[in-house]
Structure 1
Amino acid sequence: MATANMKDVKRRIKSVESTKQITKAMQLVATSKMRRAKERAVAVQPFFETLFNAMCDISSDSNFTSVFTTKVEKKKTLMIVIAGDRGLAGGFNVNVLKKAAAKAEGLKQKGRTVSIMAIGKKAVEYFSKRDYNVTDSFSEIAEGLSMYGSMDIAEDIAARFKAGEFDSVDLIYTTFVSAITQEPCEMAILPVENLNSWTNTRHAAPIYDPSPEEVFEGMIPTYLCGLLYSAIVDSFASEQAARRAAMESASDNADEMIENLSLMYNRARQAQITQELTEISSASLNDSV
C-alpha cells in the first residue's frame, strides 16, 4: 500500500514539475513581449504629441469649425473595446470587459444606440455571444500591429463619423501603470475635445492652405491612428504584464506543491523503511525463538 502511494506521489511531483516548466517559459515570453510593446509605445509618442499640438494650434482660431469638434446631442455611440487575444492573464480580460459592458448598459439607459468595435479575440467572443451590435471585429492583431494597420481602422472610423453613422466614439482599454498594476480606462476620442488646453505663443499664426478646416480634418485619421495604435500597444503590454504576474504566481504555487509532495513522499518512504525494519526484526526474533 505504501509502495503504491509513493509511486502516485512521485508521479504527481513529475507532473507538477512539467507544469512549472511551462509556466516559467510563459513568464519569460510574456516579459520579453511586454518590454518590446513598451518600447513601441514610447517610440511613437513624440510624433503624435506634435500632431496634437498642431491640431490645437489650428483650432485656436475663433472662426474655426469642424464636424470633428462640434458638440451635438449624443444619440449613437461607437465603443471601441480592446481586450486580449488569449487567457491565462489573471483578471486582465475580465476587468476591461466588465467595464465596457457597464459603460454600454449605462449608455443604453440614457437612450443611446451603442455599436461595438471589438479588438482582441476575447472582446470579439464576449460581445458576439451577448445582445450587442458588433459592427467590427479584429482578432489577434495587437502583437504584429503596424501604423498602416491602425491607419486603415482610423480612416474607416473618421469616414463613418463624418457620414453620421455615429456621433461619438469612446475607447475602452487597459493602460499599463506598472509591471504589477494595470488599470481599465475609458476615453472619449470623437468629437475631439480639450484642444484649447494647449496654446503656443512662440510663433506667429501660420497660414493653412486650402483652409484650416481642411488641414485639420486631414489630420484627424492620423490623430485617431495614434490613439488607436498607442491604446492597442498599451493594452498588449498590460496583457503581457498580467500574464507574467499570473505565471509567476503559478510557478510559485508549483514550487509549494512540489515541496509538500516531496514531504509526503519522504514520509511514505520513511514509513515503508520502518515497516521493513519491523518485519526483519520480527523475523529474526521468531528465528531465535
Structure 2
Amino acid sequence: MASGNMKDIKRRIKSVQSTMQITKAMELVASSKMRRAKERALAARPYFNTIYQTITRLAAATRDNSSVYTRPREVKNSLFVVIAGDRGLAGGYNANLFKLAAAQMDGKNAQVITIGKKAQEHYAKRAWPVTQDYPGIAETMKISDTHEIVSQMLELFRGGAVDEVYLCYTRFISPLQQEPTCIQVLPARFDAQETEPASGPQVLTEYDPSPEAVFDAVIPEYLYGVLYGAVVESYCSEQSARRMAMEAASDNAGEMIENLNLSYNRARQAAITQEITEIVAGSGEVGA
C-alpha cells in the first residue's frame, strides 16, 4: 500500500517538475519580449508628445468647435477599439481589460473593433457587434499598420455611423504594474489648461489655409500616434503580466515539489518502519 502511494507521489513530482520547466522558460521569453517592447514604447513617446503639443496649439486656435472632430454630438452609437493580448497565461491581464470595457459599454449602443486574438475570441461570443478584427499584429506593429484602423474609425465617425470613439487598452506603468484604461479619442477633447496660451511673449503662428483646415489634417496623424502608442503599451503590459504570472507559477511549483518531497520521505519512512516491524514480529514467532 505504501509502495503504491510512493509511486504516485514520485509521478506527481516529475509532473510538477516538467510544468516548472515550462513556466520558467515562458518567464524568460516574456522578460526578453518585455524589454524589447519597453524600448519601443519609450521610443514612441517623443513622437506622441510632439504631435500632442501641436494639436493642442491648434485646438486653442479653433475653440469654437467648428471642426467635425471636436464638435459635441448627441450620442446614439458608440465605437470601442479594444486592444487585448494574442495569448493567455498572463494572469488577469485580458480579464481586467474586458471588465473595464464592459463597464464603459454598459447602456450604450456599442460596436467593437478588436485588436488581439483574445479580444477577437471574447467578442465573438458577446452581444456587441464586431466591425473588424485585427489579431496578431501587436508584436510587429508599425505606425503604418495603424492607418487602416484609423481610417475605418474616421469613416464611421464622419459618416455619422458612430457619435463617439473610445480606445480601451492597458497602460504600462512599471514591470510590476499595468492599468486597464479607456479614453475617448473622438470627439477630440483637450484639457482647457493645455489649450490656454501661456503667459508672456508668444510666437504668432499663421495657419494656411486656416487653423480649422490644418487641425482637420493633423487629427489623423494624432490618432495614428495614439493608437500605435496604445498597442505598444498594451503589448508591453501583456508581456509584463505574463512574466509575473509565470514567475508566480514557478514559485508555486517549487513549493509544491518541496511539499511532495516531504510527503514522499514520510511515506518511505513509514514503509521502512512497517518492514522492520514485520521482520521483528516474524523473528519473535520463529524464536517461540
| TM-score, with structure 2 as normaliser | 0.91
> Quick check: 1:61 aligned with 2:57?
no
The alpha carbon displacement at 1:125 in A equals 1.5
What is the count of residue pairs matched by the alignment?
284
Contact 1:96 1:174 in 2 (8 A): yes
1:215 alignment partner in structure 2: 214
Alpha-carbon distance in structure 1 between the residues aligned to 2:62 and 2:148: 32
Residues 103-140 of structure 1 deviation map (CA, whole Å, 9 limit, x = unaligned): 11232xxxxx3211111112112222121111111112
Alpha-carbon distance in structure 2 between the residues aligned to 1:225 and 1:130: 28
2:134 alignment partner in structure 1: 138
Alpha-carbon distance in structure 2 between the residues aligned to 1:31 and 1:252: 16
Q: Which runs of 5+ in 2 are unaligned?
A: none
2:233 alignment partner in structure 1: 234
Alpha-carbon distance in structure 2 between the residues aligned to 1:61 and 1:185: 29
Contact 1:158 1:220 in 2 (8 A): no
Contact 1:55 1:195 in 2 (8 A): no
Alpha-carbon distance in structure 2 between the residues aligned to 1:204 and 1:59: 16
Q: Which moved more, 1:197-206 or 1:84-93?
A: 197-206
The alpha carbon displacement at 1:258 in A equals 0.5
Alpha-carbon distance in structure 2 between the residues aligned to 1:48 and 1:250: 37
Contact 1:16 1:254 in 2 (8 A): yes
1:193 alignment partner in structure 2: 189
Q: Which moved more, 1:27-36 or 1:225-234?
A: 27-36
Distance 1:8 1:243, change over 3 A: same
1:73-112 aligned within 5 A: 73-107=74-108
Residues 245-273 of structure 1 deviation map (CA, whole Å, 9 limit, x = unaligned): 21111111111111111011111111222
Contact 1:59 1:195 in 2 (8 A): no
Contact 1:154 1:222 in 2 (8 A): no
1:147-162 aligned within 5 A: 147-162=143-158
- Structure 1 runs of 4+ aligned residues shifted over 3 Å read 198-203, 279-289
> Quick check: 1:10 aligned with 2:2?
no
Equivalent position amino acid for 2:83 in 1: I
User: What SS does structure 2 have at the residue aligned with 1:208?
Assistant: coil
Alpha-carbon distance in structure 2 between the residues aligned to 1:239 and 1:47: 23
Equivalent position amino acid for 2:161 in 1: E
Q: Which moved more, 1:204-213 or 1:115-124?
A: 204-213
Q: Which runs of 5+ in 1 are unaligned?
A: 108-112
User: What SS does structure 2 have at the residue aligned with 1:60?
Assistant: helix
Contact 1:174 1:185 in 2 (8 A): yes
Alpha-carbon distance in structure 1 between the residues aligned to 2:263 and 2:62: 79
Alpha-carbon distance in structure 2 between the residues aligned to 1:61 and 1:5: 79
Equivalent position amino acid for 2:79 in 1: L
1:129 alignment partner in structure 2: 125
User: What SS does structure 2 have at the residue aligned with 1:117?
Assistant: strand
Alpha-carbon distance in structure 1 between the residues aligned to 2:216 and 2:63: 15
Alpha-carbon distance in structure 1 between the residues aligned to 2:48 and 2:178: 23
Alpha-carbon distance in structure 1 between the residues aligned to 2:261 and 2:45: 51
Equivalent position amino acid for 2:249 in 1: A
Alpha-carbon distance in structure 2 between the residues aligned to 1:174 and 1:88: 16
2:48 alignment partner in structure 1: 48
1:32 alignment partner in structure 2: 32
Distance 1:93 1:218, change over 3 A: same
Contact 2:62 2:212 in 1 (8 A): no
Equivalent position amino acid for 1:218 in 2: A
2:72 alignment partner in structure 1: 71
2:165 counterpart (146, 166, 169): 169
1:117 alignment partner in structure 2: 113
> Quick check: 1:182 aligned with 2:178?
yes
The alpha carbon displacement at 1:191 in A equals 1.1
Distance 1:43 1:283, change over 3 A: same
Equivalent position amino acid for 1:15 in 2: S
